[in-house]
Structure 1
Amino acid sequence: MKIIFDERQLKHDPELYFRRGAFIPHPEQPQRAILLRDALLAAGHTRQMPADHGLDPIKAVHDPAYVDFLMSAWPAWVEATGTTVPAVPNYHTDRRNFRVPTGVIGRLGYYSTDTSCPIVEGTAEAIYWSAQTAIDAAERVRSGAEGHIYALCRPPGHHAVLDASWGFCFFNNAAVAAQHLRGRFGKVAVLDVDTHAGNGTQDIFHARGDVLYVSIHTDPSDYTPFFIGYADETGIGAGEGATRNLVLPVGAGAEEILARYDEALEVIRAFGAEALVVSLGLDMSQDDPLSLVGMTRAGFESGAAKIAGLGLPTVLVQEGGYLGPSLSDNAVAFLGAFDAARRA
């Protein structure tokens, strides 16, 4: 399978994350992508660099003002504060009857939902090339050059909402890829198998009927992202019925997770999807540091084969999967099983 990846994605390198009242080492480290890249190349997959498709495909799903802010936030922060410490917001708004301020400190809070997305010197370049990786993979599938392809996106994206960062995510790479595929395909499905609900993808497509969003994730009632990802959220307006949240209880094992895969694939078939984006979270693994469920290597292989069996043009977009001992092994297992099933 072809892998799209650009080393400029490594330039976002936050050291700390404020979580549960304390600073801890930030889980979303550049080393994640390095481990995945090296393991997949050693397994025989081939890597290519993404082309530069510009900001327009990103602004097709995100508020253009938000995109422009992220591209210019670091120098504005340095100028305003006189420091080069990471830009972390300490003001937030729920958006009701509020205005976008002019200063960088206020805008940082306006365009952020939490403290997990510090902006550092290399953030803009990293998130730009993470999005370009997804766009380029989608372009190759849209053009018919590839039937399936893997976008090694880092930082991840599925928590990023229309106009704010959230949960390590700045640009919603999967949503950007799905929108790009809409340039050719009438109906596109996004299947999210990250252990966390992809609240950002749901937010972006919640009122649309042309993009189906189906997510398999851990119960968010006491787990990130907390405020969204419940089974009774099914879309609004034209998007009614085009959102499905298949919620897992804490402690679910591989068999229960794979049963949700079967449910998700039935929803995708019923929708009549013509192309597919997979938000590939490897953080359901039983040894992932952020996981509360118990996916296994064999489970990842089985799940990949099930998804491949849809036979749809597919873009696999990397989401979560943190520095647990089986991260790279699970990536090799998933991509290998997907590739083998599609080539069988």
Structure 2
Amino acid sequence: MLTFHSEDTKKRQAKTELHAGELVAPFECPERVDIVIDRVRKVGLGEIRSPDAYGLDPVLAVHDRRYIEFLENACDDWAAAGFKGEPIPSIWPTRRLRDDVIPANIDGRIGYYALAAETSLCLGTFAAAQASKDIALSALDHVMRTGEPAFGLCRPPGHHAAVDQFGGYCFFNNAAIAAQHALNNGMKKVAILDIDFHHGNGTQDIFYERDDVLFLSLHGDPRDEFPYFLGFADETGRGKGEGFNVNYPLPSGTDYATWASTLDDAIQRIAAYQAEILIVSLGVDTFENDPISSFKLKSEDYIDCGRRLKALGIPTTFLLEGGYAVEEIGINTVNVLTGFEGT
């Protein structure tokens, strides 16, 4: 299987994350890329290729232009305002406040565009997000051109990034950008399967009123898990999109037998939809030792996951999302891919 990878994804070198009331080193760290690519090489998964450059047009096809301009300039604006440290949001247009006015002050503007307070910005964020979406698009183009599977080693991840919001370590929604690119290049039916531990709220937001992308997400119950305010089973789409959004919230402690049975249901829905191409938001934070998740999958379970996805017989693009048990992220990610390959 071809892997797309760029060292530019490591330009995001954030120092701070707000976690459990403390500022800590971010769980989403550059070392994740090195560990996964080392595992790709160790098992001989296949050729590793640098991505092509696609510019911002594919990003603007799914994200708000003012949001993208904000991301590009936020760190400079923060420094110009005289603020110290890394930009972190501190106020939001929540209930009882207006959300139709974008603040001029960078402190308010960060809150306007932020999903949550845990994700700081840093000078390399925009460049890393650019590289990450280039990886996703290059992998997708390879799959569309050849019918062969491909793996995009994306960093930062993308599935929490909504039309005009960042958070959950996500800035550009790589899977959504790739799906829209597929539609713009002749595909009629695209499926996105999100198997990250956390709900893909951003992907749902982007496609919620559309019937040309089937979105399915297996994740921790949002009553107990981030992002808390989206990802419930009764969210099934709106308007033309009714029935094209499928959420599978699962309880803390879910084991592989239960998770795999749920995956089988999602696979059956994808087959019934007759998707022409499948994009897998591949998070391996479902692992039993992940530091910020609560499912109980073991490393060998990811091999079987890959086998089940292969049985669909659909051209498939894998894009890395979460996974924060850093020592095992390479094993677990590549196990899905080798299971899919049958190796």
Is the TM-score greater than 0.5?
yes
SS of corresponding position for 1:221: coil
User: Residues 175 and 192 of structure 2 are in contact (CA less than 8 Å); yes or no, is this contact kept in structure 1?
Assistant: yes
Alignment of 1:1-80 (within 5 A): 1-44=1-44, 45-80=46-81
Alignment of 1:1-344 (within 5 A): 1-44=1-44, 45-81=46-82, 83=84, 85-94=85-94, 96-142=98-144, 144-183=145-184, 184-340=186-342
The separation in 1 between residues aligned to 2:89 and 2:6, in whole angstroms, is 28
Q: Give the Å deviation of 1:146.
A: 4.7
SS of corresponding position for 1:70: helix
Q: Give the Å deviation of 1:80.
A: 2.0
The separation in 1 between residues aligned to 2:25 and 2:107, in whole angstroms, is 24
User: Residues 33 and 155 of structure 2 are in contact (CA less than 8 Å); yes or no, is this contact kept in structure 1?
Assistant: yes
The separation in 2 between residues aligned to 1:98 and 1:20, in whole angstroms, is 31
SS of corresponding position for 1:155: coil
Unaligned ranges ≥5, structure 1: none
User: Residues 27 and 322 of structure 1 are in contact (CA less than 8 Å); yes or no, is this contact kept in structure 2?
Assistant: yes
Higher alpha-carbon deviation: 188-197 or 40-49? 40-49
Q: Give the Å deviation of 1:96.
A: 4.5
What one-letter code is carried by the residue in structure 2 that aligns with 1:12? Answer: R
Unaligned ranges ≥5, structure 2: none
The separation in 2 between residues aligned to 1:276 and 1:200, in whole angstroms, is 18
Q: Give the Å deviation of 1:327.
A: 1.7
User: Residues 285 and 325 of structure 2 are in contact (CA less than 8 Å); yes or no, is this contact kept in structure 1?
Assistant: no
SS of corresponding position for 1:99: coil
Alignment TM-score, normalising by the size of structure 2: 0.95
Q: Give the Å deviation of 1:202.
A: 0.6
Q: Give the Å deviation of 1:324.
A: 4.2
Q: Give the Å deviation of 1:145.
A: 3.1
Q: Give the Å deviation of 1:170.
A: 0.8
The separation in 1 between residues aligned to 2:128 and 2:118, in whole angstroms, is 16
Q: Give the Å deviation of 1:97.
A: 4.4
SS of corresponding position for 2:146: coil
Higher alpha-carbon deviation: 51-60 or 86-95? 86-95
The separation in 1 between residues aligned to 2:293 and 2:75, in whole angstroms, is 32
SS of corresponding position for 1:257: helix
Q: Give the Å deviation of 1:179.
A: 0.9
SS of corresponding position for 2:223: helix
The separation in 1 between residues aligned to 2:171 and 2:139, in whole angstroms, is 19
Moved over 3 A (4+): 94-97
User: Residues 212 and 243 of structure 1 are in contact (CA less than 8 Å); yes or no, is this contact kept in structure 2?
Assistant: yes
Deviations 1:205-262 (A, max 9, x none): 1100110000111111011110010111100000000000112111111111110110
User: Residues 157 and 321 of structure 2 are in contact (CA less than 8 Å); yes or no, is this contact kept in structure 1?
Assistant: yes
User: Residues 17 and 24 of structure 2 are in contact (CA less than 8 Å); yes or no, is this contact kept in structure 1?
Assistant: yes
User: Residues 219 and 249 of structure 2 are in contact (CA less than 8 Å); yes or no, is this contact kept in structure 1?
Assistant: yes
The separation in 2 between residues aligned to 1:69 and 1:15, in whole angstroms, is 20
Q: Give the Å deviation of 1:90.
A: 1.5
What one-letter code is carried by the residue in structure 1 that aligns with 2:134? Answer: Q
